[in-house]
Amino acid sequence: MLARYERQRRADVTSRRIAIDLLNRSLLTDFLPVHGARALSLFLVDRIGPLRRALMREGVSPVASQPRLMRGEML
């Protein structure tokens, strides 16, 4: 059962790890266009309410990659 749960969660864990890694790398680089892209992205997320809410909702509770048990569905 734990192996199946791990397989089902793998996509979510991997996508979050990659996103965090990209954000960290964007902060550490000296390449100015990357700083601009990060700033523009954060600005847009701040200004576009539906986008911000969608990102927050997915960050808190990623529906697509949740196992059925976590969504409250019966097996």
Condensed to tens digits (0 to 9), the pLDDT of residues 1-56 reads: 888 888 878 888 888 899 889 989 999 999 999 999 999 999 999 999 999 998 88
In this predicted structure, what is the pLDDT of residue 63?
65
Return d(Cα 49, Cα 11) in angstroms, integer.
Answer: 26
Q: Does residue 67 have a pLDDT over 80?
A: no
How far is CA 38 from its chain centroid? 15
Q: Which amino acid is at 9?
A: R
Range 58-69 average pLDDT: 68
Separate counts of helices (H) and strands (E) for the chain: 3, 0
6: number of CA atoms within 13 Å, CB side? Answer: 3
Q: Please tell me the predicted confidence (pLDDT) of residue 12.
A: 81
**Rounded-to-integer distance, Cα 3 and Cα 21, Å:** 25
Mean pLDDT of 70-75: 58
